[in-house]
């Protein structure tokens, strides 16, 4: 835990100056505002976006190891010097000293959040996909520049995600201690601190929808994502970014358009970055469309140019890595196959992989042939029947929430609330579009938490706001009940994060990736290790694949030359 705390500070030292510097380019605007937690998380995500994009470009020419890390460290140090000398370090406006009893109690939740995050960060990764390919993909990024045709060695290694690149940058594997997976826990901690600002505000009497949404996400983060804190999984950061963008979107709508123009531009750039982490977050592009339309209405042409340039810079290395890894623009993705390279896999295989993902997300325990015989209506009925109660409740809520919205229309206060918050229909449409996309493509709940909980949080926040405005007694009762709920969720999360049987070995260092048994397997002109347990290689057995294939050969004398299929 000691090393984990030090790594959190070290990672912030590297990430924040890039974010502060980018935002300082618009210092005339930000000098008019008091930097708060929204500014801080925006700077944090802007820094991660910049570093990830930069590292992705480097990965075309060099492995992401000590050379790239040293370069980034030197630049961040120089940026700190520049920011201090030019007085660009923001003076954050944070006031947690209060006489309000609800807000004082809420500070306990912040302490609990820190304890949960720290204890969970030091445990071994629990995400099964990390065992299958995340850890191996990070090891490849650490060891080689992007490898042509890596998909032919193991198809999951071509599930390109920029999140794996930034995790490789901060893994510090070149120290020969272990490949650290601490960045996800830092991201989680910063996010829950941001969501806590909503808890604190509601405790102080706020009825703003943005604060109520943050409160909901604070609870959901510990209820649904706690087990992901120690894993470099790709669903985890997408979920948090969607929640943050959702809350910030509502906050921007609650403020004047003039005051929020630059924030909207920056969050549009973060949304574009989110898509490079996982393509399933593509519906968040609706936020980018809203931001661009807003800028067009205000004739802020410079902001539109910035968004377009940023989109090209962020998307280019992502698409380039896709092409080199799989021979396709997106994998698994579009049917269009304009790229023809000797290491690429056939489009039919891409379509098969998409179908496999869809089947596994719907009914993984059903035989594939039997699954294909069912109509889609029957498939989804069986899928819903197999869900755990809380997942069924989420789907039922999303389907039935229009009913109370309609039943409340006779009340003038409800109609007034909907009219005053009419623009919130934008984020609601975006989140429902995301849920629909998730249902069609791969409806495994961990893939869809971002959009599902955002849609639930937005609609429920409107109902709660309507209820809180009835009278002070109901207002205080809702605040009291929400705090009790947070306390119970927090206690459960603490129990789940302690792992007392391994706490002694985690006091200094976080737990490393597990090392599972592997055996040699033969390909056409080389031999590597292959998994023998649960399709999982983890990190240490490297290179490692699911099984040998005599039709796959190396394209040259070294693994960096890539792999191809020989018919």
| Angle 362-335-546 from CA coordinates, rounded to 5° | 55
Last residue of a domain, one of 44, 73, 94: 94
Q: Are 542 and 142 in contact (CB under 8 A)?
A: no
* 534 lies in some domain: yes
Quickly count: other Cβ atoms within 10 Å of residue 130's Cβ.
26
**Can you spell out the DSSP letters for 116-161?**
HHHHHHTSPP--HHIIIIIHHHHHHHHHSSPPTTGGGT-GGGG---
**Can you spell out the DSSP letters for 503-563?**
TGGGTTSPPPPP---EEEEE-SS-EEEEE-STT--TTTS-SEESS--TTEEESSSSGGG-E
Question: Strand, coil or helix: what is 347?
Answer: helix
* 529 lies in some domain: yes
Give, in order, the Cα–Cα distances in Å from 276 to each of 281, 282, 306.
9, 9, 18
Smallest CA-to-CA distance from 61 within 4, 144, 135 is with 144
Rounded CA-CA distance 479/524 in Å is 65
Q: Which domain holds residue 37?
A: 1-94
* 357 lies in some domain: no
The pLDDT tens digits for 122-146 are 998 988 899 999 999 999 999 999 9
Rounded CA-CA distance 449/257 in Å is 29
Q: Are 455 and 398 in contact (CB under 8 A)?
A: yes
* 522 lies in some domain: yes
Question: Strand, coil or helix: what is 44?
Answer: helix
Rounded CA-CA distance 127/356 in Å is 19
DSSP state of 216: H
Please, what sign has the CA dihedral across residues 42, 48, 54, 57? negative
Q: Give the pLDDT confidence score for residue 311 in this predicted structure.
A: 94
| Angle 91-92-98 from CA coordinates, rounded to 5° | 130
Give, in order, the Cα–Cα distances in Å from 528 to each of 315, 511, 545.
33, 26, 8
* 45 lies in some domain: yes
Rounded CA-CA distance 48/126 in Å is 24
Q: Is the pLDDT of residue 32 over 60?
A: no
Last residue of a domain, one of 94, 124, 148: 94
Q: Is the pLDDT of residue 17 over 90?
A: yes
Q: Which residues, 6 or more positions from 273, have their beta carbon under 8 angstroms from its beta carbon?
A: 45, 48, 49, 52, 53, 162, 241, 314
Quickly count: other Cβ atoms within 10 Å of residue 413's Cβ.
11
Last residue of a domain, one of 63, 94, 125: 94
Rounded CA-CA distance 451/462 in Å is 17
The more confident residue out of 91 and 76 is 76
Question: Strand, coil or helix: what is 564?
Answer: strand
Residue 29 pLDDT level (bands cut at 50, 70, 90): low
Burial code (b: 16+ CB inside 10 Å, e: under 16) for 6-43 equals ebbebbeebbbbbbbbbbbeeeeebeeeebebbbbbbb
Q: Are 105 and 487 in contact (CB under 8 A)?
A: no
Q: Are 286 and 429 in contact (CB under 8 A)?
A: yes
Count of CA atoms in the C-beta half-sphere (13 A) of 41: 23
Q: Give the pLDDT confidence score for residue 524 in this predicted structure.
A: 92
Rounded CA-CA distance 545/532 in Å is 10
Q: Give the pLDDT confidence score for residue 497 in this predicted structure.
A: 74
Phi, psi of 334 (to 5 degrees): -70, 150
Mean pLDDT of the chain, nearest integer: 89
The more confident residue out of 566 and 14 is 14
Q: Is the pLDDT of residue 96 over 80?
A: no
If one counts the domains in the chain, the total is 2
* 59 lies in some domain: yes
The pLDDT tens digits for 420-459 are 888 899 999 999 999 999 999 889 998 999 999 999 999 9
Phi, psi of 169 (to 5 degrees): -60, -40
Copy the structure tokens of residue 171: 């893994």
The pLDDT tens digits for 258-309 are 455 578 889 999 999 999 999 999 999 999 999 999 888 888 888 899 999 9
The pLDDT tens digits for 193-219 are 999 999 988 888 888 999 999 999 999
Q: Which residue has the tokens 């943005």?
A: 210
The more confident residue out of 108 and 2 is 2
Rounded CA-CA distance 417/465 in Å is 9
Question: Strand, coil or helix: what is 565?
Answer: strand
* 176 lies in some domain: no
Smallest CA-to-CA distance from 263 within 39, 521, 551 is with 39
Rounded CA-CA distance 509/289 in Å is 44
Q: Are 355 and 363 in contact (CB under 8 A)?
A: no
Question: Comparing 16-25, 41-50, 89-98, which segment has the lowest mean pLDDT?
Answer: 89-98
* 326 lies in some domain: no
């Amino acid at each position: 835990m000691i090393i984990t705390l030090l790594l959190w500070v070290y990672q912030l030292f590297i990430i924040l100056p890039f974010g502060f510097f980018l935002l300082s380019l618009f210092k005339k605007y930000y000098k008019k505002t008091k930097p708060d937690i929204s500014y801080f998380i925006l700077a944090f995500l802007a820094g991660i976006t910049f570093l990830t994009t930069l590292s992705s470009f480097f990965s075309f020419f060099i492995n992401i190891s000590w050379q790239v890390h040293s370069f980034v460290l030197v630049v961040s140090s120089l940026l700190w010097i520049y920011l201090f000398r030019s007085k660009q370090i923001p003076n954050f406006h944070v006031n947690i000293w209060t006489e309000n009893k609800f807000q004082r109690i809420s500070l306990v939740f912040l302490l609990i959040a820190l304890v949960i995050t720290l204890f969970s960060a030091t445990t071994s990764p629990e995400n099964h996909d990390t065992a299958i390919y995340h850890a191996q993909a990070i090891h490849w990024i650490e060891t080689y520049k992007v490898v042509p045709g890596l998909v032919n060695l193991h198809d999951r290694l071509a599930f390109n995600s920029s999140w794996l690149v930034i995790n490789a940058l901060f893994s510090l594997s070149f120290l020969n201690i272990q490949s650290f997976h601490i960045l996800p826990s830092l991201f989680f901690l910063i996010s829950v601190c941001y969501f806590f600002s909503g808890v604190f505000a509601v405790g102080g009497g706020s009825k703003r929808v943005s604060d109520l949404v943050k409160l909901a996400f604070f609870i959901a983060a510990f209820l649904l994502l706690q087990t992901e804190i120690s894993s470099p999984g790709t669903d985890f950061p997408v979920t948090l970014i969607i929640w943050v963008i959702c809350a910030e979107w509502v906050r921007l709508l609650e403020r004047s358009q003039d005051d929020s123009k630059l924030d909207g531009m920056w969050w549009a750039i973060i949304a574009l970055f989110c898509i490079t982490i996982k393509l399933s977050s593509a519906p968040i592009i609706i936020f980018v469309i809203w931001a661009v339309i807003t800028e067009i209405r205000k004739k802020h042409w410079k902001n539109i140019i910035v968004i377009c340039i940023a989109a090209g810079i962020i998307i280019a290395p992502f698409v380039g890595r896709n092409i080199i890894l799989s021979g396709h623009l997106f994998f698994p993705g579009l049917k269009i196959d304009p790229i023809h390279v000797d290491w690429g896999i056939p489009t039919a295989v891409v379509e098969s992989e998409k179908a496999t993902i869809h089947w596994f997300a719907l009914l993984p325990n059903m035989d594939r042939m039997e699954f294909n015989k069912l109509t889609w209506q029957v498939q989804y009925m069986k899928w819903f029947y197999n869900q755990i109660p809380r997942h069924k409740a989420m789907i039922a809520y999303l389907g039935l929430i229009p009913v109370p919205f309609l039943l409340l229309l006779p009340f003038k206060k409800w109609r007034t609330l909907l009219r005053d918050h009419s623009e919130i229909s934008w984020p609601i449409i975006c989140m429902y579009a995301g849920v629909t996309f998730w249902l069609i493509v791969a409806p495994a709940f961990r893939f869809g938490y971002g959009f599902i909980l955002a849609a639930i949080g937005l609609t429920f926040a409107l109902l709660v706001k309507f209820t809180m405005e009835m009278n002070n007694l109901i207002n205080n009762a809702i605040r009291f009940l929400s705090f009790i709920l947070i306390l119970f969720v927090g206690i459960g999360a603490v129990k789940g994060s302690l792992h007392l049987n391994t706490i002694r070995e985690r006091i200094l260092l976080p737990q490393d990736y597990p090392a599972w048994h592997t055996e040699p397997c033969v390909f056409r002109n080389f031999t590597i290790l292959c998994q023998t347990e649960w399709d999982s290689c983890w990190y240490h057995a490297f290179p490692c694949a699911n099984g040998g294939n005599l039709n796959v050969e190396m394209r040259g004398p070294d693994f960096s030359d890539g792999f191809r299929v020989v018919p």
